[in-house]
């Protein structure tokens, strides 16, 4: 893939005819974390009974003095992470995203208020929890975005996950990193450093824009192909960093597109859609369609079936894009 920069927007152009391979962002996270443990003595890993679920076993075997499992006690874990970060460590905390409602006040009060170097890596996230709807996390982004000073990152794929983790470890301050477990298409090239706050244009187009984050970015790319087959040209815009959020770039892209479809594996309220809408109304309001989870619990087990049941597949983005075109006429 070729890469260039347009203002604060990074433009990635896939080579013609290039197919996307699938990789697990969680797998890339664990591999990269192992490299960081070996090269950076500040890094420590803490988890709350997620060694197997988060595939951390090899790290615990290779670095038993730097990895700790504190059992199913998320709130205690946040306190320990804060204490270690206060002594100069970079604490990488691995928790299920569904636990953020239990740990959120301590992330706010112990970590964010003090600006400590703690990276909360959330997995499983979205609809990937295997305990049914009780394990799903569809409001975590909204909760973490509301915490002052906490950076919020949702990479699109394995390569971007690796780059994002390196960037977060190498910079100061707390962060929330949303990790996808399943193998999903690699739609970025992962080259160079990860720029916090930068928006990535994965596909140029002269028509409306598809704006996505996390796992839904791959669905947006599929939707763009389906729309192109019907001679509908769209731009695909990936937002890996929800905070800091590049509002001016979003407003500019919105003006150029004239209409946006925003897609995320999150509740309709409080996530990327809310961020985009807030920015757009500060400029020239344009039509927006939202592809997100409505106010409901999603029942089922297989992740792709769940995304279909929740209306989070490429076909749903295509339908939203067509509705948007009608509104723009």
**End position of a domain, from candidates 141, 167, 185:** 185
Mean pLDDT across the stretch 77-92?
A: 97
Whether residues 37 and 6 fall in one domain: no
Which two three-digit tokens encode residue 122?
A: 């959330």
Is the model's pLDDT at 6 over the cut of 90?
Answer: no
**End position of a domain, from candidates 151, 185, 219:** 185
Q: Which residues contact 47 (CB under 8 A, 6 or more apart)?
A: 54, 56, 67, 68, 69, 70, 77, 93, 94, 95
* Total of domains in the chain: 2
Whether residues 31 and 158 fall in one domain: yes
Where do the H-state alpha helices sit in the chain?
A: 25-39, 57-62, 74-86, 100-106, 140-145, 158-169, 216-228, 247-257, 272-281, 303-309, 314-328
- 124: preceding bond cis by omega (within 30 degrees): yes
Whether residues 172 and 254 fall in one domain: no
Whether residues 171 and 210 fall in one domain: no
DSSP class of 242: E
**End position of a domain, from candidates 185, 206, 226:** 185
Distances (CA, A) of 71 to 49, 75, 76: 5, 11, 9
Is the model's pLDDT at 325 over the cut of 90?
Answer: yes
Whether residues 71 and 214 fall in one domain: no
Whether residues 31 and 166 fall in one domain: yes
Query: CB of 200 within 8 A of CB of 4?
Result: no
Secondary structure (H, E, C), 27-77 = HHHHHHHHHHHHHCCCEEEEECCCCCCCCCHHHHHHCCCCEEECCCCHHHH
Whether residues 266 and 283 fall in one domain: yes
CATH code, domain with 100: 3.40.50.970
The whole-number pLDDT of residue 21 equals: 84
DSSP class of 172: S
Whether residues 142 and 236 fall in one domain: no
pTM: 0.91
CATH code, domain with 213: 3.40.50.920
Which two three-digit tokens encode residue 291?
A: 């592809």
Is the model's pLDDT at 4 over the cut of 70?
Answer: no
Is the model's pLDDT at 284 over the cut of 90?
Answer: no
**Containing structural domain, residue 58:** 22-185
Least confidently predicted of 141-155, 190-204, 260-274: 190-204
Whether residues 114 and 230 fall in one domain: no
The whole-number pLDDT of residue 19 equals: 58
């Amino acid at each position: 893939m070729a890469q260039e920069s347009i203002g604060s927007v990074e433009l990635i152009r896939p080579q013609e005819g290039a197919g996307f391979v699938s990789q697990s962002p969680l797998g890339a996270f664990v591999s990269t974390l192992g490299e960081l443990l070996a090269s950076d003595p500040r890094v420590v890993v803490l988890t709350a009974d997620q060694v197997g679920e988060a595939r951390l076993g090899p790290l615990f075997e290779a670095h038993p003095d730097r990895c700790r499992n504190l059992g199913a006690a998320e709130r205690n874990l946040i306190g320990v992470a804060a204490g270690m970060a206060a002594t100069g460590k970079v604490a990488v905390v691995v928790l299920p995203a569904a636990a953020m409602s239990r740990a959120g006040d301590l992330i706010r009060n112990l970590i964010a208020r003090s600006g400590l170097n703690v990276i909360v890596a959330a997995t499983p996230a979205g609809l990937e929890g295997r305990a049914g709807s009780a394990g799903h996390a569809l409001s975590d982004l909204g909760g973490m975005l509301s915490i002052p000073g906490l950076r919020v990152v949702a990479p699109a794929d394995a390569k971007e996950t690796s780059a994002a983790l390196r960037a977060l470890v190498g910079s100061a301050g707390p962060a929330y990193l949303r990790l996808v477990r399943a193998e999903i298409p690699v739609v970025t090239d992962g080259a160079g450093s990860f720029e916090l706050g930068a928006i990535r244009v994965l596909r140029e187009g002269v028509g409306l824009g598809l704006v996505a984050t996390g796992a839904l970015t791959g669905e947006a790319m599929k939707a763009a192909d389906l729309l192109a087959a019907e001679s509908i040209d769209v731009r695909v815009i990936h937002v890996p960093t929800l905070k800091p959020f590049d509002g001016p770039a979003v407003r500019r892209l919105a003006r150029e597109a004239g209409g946006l479809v925003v897609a995320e594996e999150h509740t309709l309220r409080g996530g990327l859609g809310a961020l985009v809408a807030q920015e757009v109304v500060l400029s020239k309001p344009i039509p927006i369609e939202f592809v997100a989870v409505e106010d409901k619990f999603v029942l089922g087990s297989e992740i792709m079936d769940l995304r279909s049941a929740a209306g989070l597949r490429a076909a749903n983005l295509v339908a939203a894009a067509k509705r948007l075109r009608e509104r723009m006429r």
